[in-house]
Structure 1
Amino acid sequence: MHSILLITGWGLGTKPLEALKQSLQAQGYQVELMNIFNAFDQVELDAKIKIAQKFDVIAGWSLGGQLASVLAEQIYKKTAKAKVLITLASNPCFIAKECWPIGMQYSAFQSFKSSFQQDALTTLKRFSYLVTQGSKNAKQDWQYLQNSVNDEDKTIKIQGLELLENLNSVSILESYQGPQYHVLAEDDGLVAYKVADYLRKIPAKFIKIDSVIGSHGFPLFNIHETTNKILGYLKTTLKK
């Protein structure tokens, strides 16, 4: 039985990914969910690497995709074993920079960060709204996500914002020696679909870029399609 470590995105915990986890398990995969973590803390990073080494596939949604990339790179450096890397609705450099201009503007992000520090709950509700924009069922999806909004674990959420601001995993994707699969949503309100064009320019050996119709939250709501995308890729990538 092949195993998948699935890392969630910022702000909502692992609950929204439970449906995707169950869908993949129904197809015979062992799946474990992981919350975001502070990849800039070496002790914490080492602990997550130890966990991730046990899995065949390291996948992540949004910020989780960047963290999955970090874990995959670190495992390869330590063990020379290349895990399958999958990212869903993930921009390897969330804030627009000269070297990677497709991302959120720094001023807009700082405004969001300040808003979260002043009123976490209201900001998380606003964030949930952005996650669902582009979906055919945006209102229904947004109402569902409200059940995951809380101001608990504020420390890790603030650390997550620091990661979104500073983490740049483009160089990881460029040099990664293992298979990598990146799925972007065409109507994403948080990670522009144009990121796919930039990813296609990455000179990696085993990289595949794919798309779905939907919002940033497609792994949370388009369960059947997301599962099929992942399974289709893994069937041609993982050895039995």
Structure 2
Amino acid sequence: MSTVVDSVVLVSGWAMSAEVLAPLAQALEQSGWQVQAVSLAEAEGSTWEDLYTLLNSKVGQSLPVLVGWSLGGNLCSRFAAKYPDRVSGVVTLGSTPSFIARDGWTQGKHPDAYQQFADGVAANIQGAMKEFAPVCARGSHDLKGTIRALRASAKWALEQNTDWCDLLNRLAEDARSEWQQVQCPAVHLLAEQDPLAKASIADDLQALLPGQTVKVLDGSHAIFLDHTDAVVDVVTTVRNKNKEGGA
């Protein structure tokens, strides 16, 4: 029978390695957590079912807290909604249920901006990723260090046999209804200077998810690098809420 233990599964973002999460993994381990980190590149394919299968293989019987960055956070919320008995909590970092603006979600990216980036990825993913790292690092407490870490992470990811163009399409999908179905304690962290999962979605996200928690921190899309200790504290809070039977 599954039991709640201090177990965490970290899920990286689009076109990134699991290694980029190493500082957060180390901080969690030093706080007594059992940690696994996973890249989306480890999935057998690029559909949601492929991604669920990957995450399911990491979850095991430990009822972990799922911590996902960007697209990884979207996956964690979707997984928790689909498999409520498999997880004890969710923390998303720089993530959004709808990357693109749409009806009732006006603070997302304009569809044309998304399409321009997607076209650039399709035409020259290496060049697109070189420019993507500074975007993700914008507002970071350590701008140069964050850019280096993200570019190294992307370099590894792009060497894998992964259809990153198709995975990018997952960002374009609307997961608001799935996020609303999450039953376990959940906290969603956004960053003030993040141009991707913009802090301006916070009010809409909180209204969408009244039983979950939305917090805005300073810094960049790479929240786990800017606020490593704060993320550890949030993960611990989510775990404690689960043990207390809270939401």
Q: Please give the TM-score of this superposition, normalised by the length of structure 2.
A: 0.85
The answer to whether structure 1 residue 2 and structure 2 residue 6 are counterparts is yes
In structure 1, distance between residues paired with 2:234 and 2:86 = 24
Amino acid in structure 2 at the alignment position of 1:14: A
Q: Mind listing any 5+ residue stretches in structure 2 that lack a counterpart?
A: none
Count of matched residue positions in the alignment of Structure 1 and Structure 2 = 235
Identity within the alignment, %? 26
Which residue number corresponds to residue 165 of structure 2?
158
Instruction: Rate the CA distance shift 1:159–1:220 in 2: closer, same or farther, 3 A.
Output: farther
Secondary structure of residue in 2 paired with 1:191 = coil
TM-aligned CA deviation for residue 220 of structure 1: 2.7
The answer to whether structure 1 residue 169 and structure 2 residue 175 are counterparts is yes
Amino acid in structure 2 at the alignment position of 1:4: V
Alpha-carbon contact 2:8-2:34 (below 8 Å) kept:
yes
Amino acid in structure 2 at the alignment position of 1:118: A
The answer to whether structure 1 residue 65 and structure 2 residue 70 are counterparts is no
Secondary structure of residue in 1 paired with 2:141 = coil
The answer to whether structure 1 residue 29 and structure 2 residue 33 are counterparts is yes
Which of 190, 200, 209 is the matching residue for 1:194? 200
Which residue number corresponds to residue 16 of structure 2?
12
Amino acid in structure 2 at the alignment position of 1:25: E
CA RMSD of aligned residues (A): 2.3
Q: How does 1:64-103 map to 2 (within 5 A)?
A: 64-76=72-84, 80=85, 83-103=88-108
TM-aligned CA deviation for residue 100 of structure 1: 1.9
TM-aligned CA deviation for residue 229 of structure 1: 3.2
Which residue number corresponds to residue 180 of structure 1?
186
Secondary structure of residue in 1 paired with 2:10 = strand
Instruction: Rate the CA distance shift 1:47–1:142 in 2: closer, same or farther, 3 A.
Output: closer
Instruction: Rate the CA distance shift 1:91–1:125 in 2: closer, same or farther, 3 A.
Output: same
In structure 2, distance between residues paired with 1:153 and 1:61 = 19
In structure 2, distance between residues paired with 1:44 and 1:12 = 15
Structure 1 runs of 4+ off > 4 angstroms? none
Alpha-carbon contact 1:82-1:177 (below 8 Å) kept:
no
In structure 2, distance between residues paired with 1:17 and 1:34 = 9
Instruction: Rate the CA distance shift 1:144–1:44 in 2: closer, same or farther, 3 A.
Output: closer
Alpha-carbon contact 1:95-1:104 (below 8 Å) kept:
yes
